[in-house]
A and B are shown apart, each in its own frame.
Chain A
Amino acid sequence: GEDVEQSLFLSVREGDSSVINCTYTDSSSTYLYWYKQEPGAGLQLLTYIFSNMDMKQDQRLTVLLNKKDKHLSLRIADTQTGDSAIYFCAESQLGDYKLSFGAGTTVTVRA
C-alpha cells in the first residue's frame, strides 16, 4: 500500500456524483484497477484502465488517468445507497504477479 495512496473517507448525498482519488508512484505501472468491497464480502473488480489510456467509461463509472501526475480517479454518477462500500485502487506492472493496493476509501452515501 505504500506506493498507492487514497483518501480514507468520502461522504456523498444520494443522487450526487462521487469522485474517489488515488495517486501512485511507479511510472512503470501497466494497468490500474478499481475494486469495491461491501461489508462482509471480498473485493469485486469494478473497472480497470490500461496505462496508455486517459479515460474509460462504463455506465455510471468514469475512470480518469493522468499519467504525468500519476493520478487516478473514479467518478460514480448518480450515487445510490448501494454504492456505500470501500473502494480500493490498485496497480500492476509487466511480469509481476502482485497488485499494489491503496488503503481503501470508505464511501458513505447519505439520503
Chain B
Amino acid sequence: ETGVTQTPRHLVMGMTNKKSLKCEQHLGHNAMYWYKQSAKKPLELMFVYSLEERVENNSVPSRFSPECPNSSHLFLHLHTLQPEDSALYLCASSQEQWGHNEQFFGPGTRLTVL
C-alpha cells in the first residue's frame, strides 16, 4: 500500500447507527487531517492532528469524534448523525517543513445518512 488509504469508500448509515471511518498513511508524515466536502461548498477542515495530538478542532459537532492512535492511523467515529452530514470525507497527511505543507489526500469516504 502506498500513499493515503481510506476505508470504507462508501458508507450508508441511519441516524441512530455508530460507524467509524479509517485513514492510513504510508508516507511517514507527522500530521493528519479530516476534511468534509459537501456539494457546492468549499472544503471544510474538521480536525488536525500533529504528532498524534489534536491541534485543531474547527467547531465540529460532538457527533464526530476523531482518534489518532499513532502517526500512521486516523479514525473518525460517527454517531447519531444527521442527513446534512452526508458528504465526502477526505483524509490527508503532510510533513510540514518551513512553511511547505504539501498535503496528500486519500480517495475519500462517500457518506450517506438516511
Cβ-closest chain A residue relative to B6: A42
Known contacts A1-B42, A42-B90; A97 and B105 CB within 8 A of each other: no
Q: How far is the CA of A35 from the CA of B42 in the complex (A)?
A: 14
Are the CB atoms of A41 and B100 closer together than 8 Å? no
Per the CB 8 Å criterion, the residue count for chain A at the interface is 26
Does B94 sit at the interface, judged by CB under 8 A?
yes
Identify the closest chain A residue to B30 (Cβ): A97
Given contacts A97-B50, A102-B42, contact A92 B101 (CB under 8 A): yes
A88 contacts B102, CB within 8 Å?
A: no
Chain B residues with CB under 8 Å of A93's CB are 99
Q: A97-B31, A98-B56 are in contact. Are A45 and B102 (CB under 8 A)?
A: yes
Q: Which residues of A, 54-103, contact B by the 8 Å Cβ criterion?
A: 88, 92-99, 101-103
Closest 5 CB pairs of A and B: A30-B99, A1-B42, A42-B105, A94-B99, A92-B101
- B residues sitting closer than 8 Å to A (CB atoms) are 4, 6, 31, 33, 41-43, 45, 48, 50, 55-56, 90, 92, 94, 96, 98-108, 110
